[in-house]
Amino acid sequence: MSALLLLFLAVTTSYFPQLPLEFPQTRTMKDDARFISEIAPFPGIEQINDLYLNDIKSLLAHEAPNLNPLVINKVLTTLKCAATYNVEHNNILTIIDYSLPSNERRFWVFDLKARKLLFYTYVSHGIKSGALLTNFFSNKFNSKASSIGVYQTQQAYYGRDGLSLRLDGLDRNFNDNASSRSVVMHSGWYVEEGFIKRYGRPGRSWGCPALPLATSQGIINTIKDKSLLVIYYPSDAWFAKSKFLNCDKTTASQHMNDPTIQVPVSAPDEHRDAILFVGSGYKGSKNAESKPVAVISADTYERVFHTTAPLTRMLRRQINNAEYIALNATELYYLANNNKPDSTASQDDGINAIHFVIPVLKIVRGGYYETQMQIVNLGKIKEVKINGGLSRTNELANSFTVYFEGGPSVNLNAHNEFIRWVGL
């Protein structure tokens, strides 16, 4: 019997000489990580394990050294919990870290299958979420604030801000109203790096994560159609209550000692200077939408007043690729009283620098409507007078009369209510 067995082994070995007669060496963690990445980059819960998560962790840390390790840990937990809840998603992962100031790049897009960083850029936050820092979040309608949490991207479409991306908030009580609030991803000229370098921070949206014009189209086309987006902030409520950070006891215990911040229950009270509208009988912001506003260009503002133009009074739309600032009473008074004679005045000196603008709806490509700012030609300004003059304490009144050459005069009245097309 033993002789027959030896004969069989000899024949088999000669017939299949390429087969090894010993077991292969044990696979290393690096080998398994490469196998997981190449063969199963988007596993279900049965395949989510420490090996897979360590592989993703190494990828994020290597490709994005500026990404906070605390953020990476939350993203890994999110991936695990997304598998637990059978959340469908592709190989693209987007991360926003709102704990960073808005004048820093805080937006990353990764391809987990190709194992590389695709985009790293700036992103804005909501106008009620803070100025330079993002420190207030809301899931409420009309809050004009950003929402943290986990999202699934949906379809791309063309809207009032060009190519945009619908977002489905998956985090109950944190961002699940995003779709009905019309929180989408879109571009913004006020998120360009040149704008940020000039004014110190990007402009702000009404809660949408707005991207630089130059890269927004490529980003949206890359991350659309069911990729995961994680918007991070070290909120104690989010850490404790999000289902994407607490899908089992292990994940719940991972952030017990992480530093957290309690988000305020209401938006920060941002001071808004009163701006000057043409006409009287002001009845609130809706009434002001159609009234011309006194403005000057941002270039003129900085040259005349020797300071950076205030974004809180900047028009939300450029005019001929230039930014404009809505004037307050003090600035109008200064321009009116530092006017040069007509013989030496240029187009942007003194009262010659003042323009009046209104918002208009126009149909642009694709047949959708877009709000644009339009200069109203009321004539050349001849004189500006304060109604009632200066008070005993030299405080300005909130009403002016502007006289034009060859045209009727108009009254300007100051109001500081929120106007949808003024303030970034």
Annotated domain spans of the chain? 50-245, 275-415
Residue with tokens 């979420």: 129
CATH topology (fold) of 50-245: L,D-transpeptidase catalytic domain-like (2.40.440)
Contact 412, 399 (CB under 8 A): yes
Q: Where are the beta strands (DSSP E) in 281-380?
A: 293-297, 324-326, 355-363, 369-376
Q: Give the end-to-end CA distance of the chain in Å, rounded to a whole number.
A: 90
What is the C-alpha separation between 237 and 217, in angstroms, rounded?
34
If you ran DSSP here, which 8-state letter would residue 319 be given? B
Q: What is the pLDDT of residue 39?
A: 36
What is the C-alpha separation between 242 and 172, in angstroms, rounded?
7
Global pTM reads: 0.84
Q: What is the pLDDT of residue 221?
A: 98
In what helix (H) or strand (E) does residue 80 lie, and over which residues does it extend?
Answer: helix 69-84
What is the C-alpha separation between 75 and 95, in angstroms, rounded?
8
Residues in CB range of 348: below 8 A, 6 or more apart? 296, 297, 299, 300, 303
Residues in CB range of 201: below 8 A, 6 or more apart? 101, 102, 103, 131, 132, 311
In what helix (H) or strand (E) does residue 241 lie, and over which residues does it extend?
Answer: helix 236-241
What is the C-alpha separation between 417 and 222, in angstroms, rounded?
39
What is the C-alpha separation between 189 and 297, in angstroms, rounded?
16
Three-state SS at 196: helix
What is the C-alpha separation between 145 and 127, in angstroms, rounded?
6
Supply 103's token pair. 């004048």
Residue 12's CB is within 10 A of a number of other CB atoms, namely 12
- For the chain, 424 residues long, give each residue's pLDDT as a single digit of tens: 444 444 443 434 333 333 232 323 333 334 433 433 443 445 655 566 778 889 999 999 999 999 999 999 999 999 999 999 999 999 999 999 999 999 999 999 999 999 999 999 999 999 999 999 999 999 999 999 999 999 999 999 988 888 999 999 999 999 999 999 999 999 999 999 999 999 999 999 999 999 999 999 999 999 999 999 999 999 999 999 999 999 986 666 666 678 888 888 777 777 788 899 887 644 554 555 678 999 999 999 999 999 999 999 999 999 999 999 999 999 998 998 886 655 444 556 788 899 999 988 887 766 677 778 899 888 889 988 888 655 444 456 678 999 998 888 999 988 887 788 899 9
> 121-133 as b/e, with b when 16 or more CB fall inside 10 Å?
bbbbbbbbbbbeb
Contact 275, 326 (CB under 8 A): yes
What is the C-alpha separation between 278 and 357, in angstroms, rounded?
10
Residue with tokens 């809660």: 207
Q: Could you tell me which residues are beta bridge partners of residue 360?
A: 372
Three-state SS at 102: coil
Residues in CB range of 317: below 8 A, 6 or more apart? 359, 371, 372, 373, 421
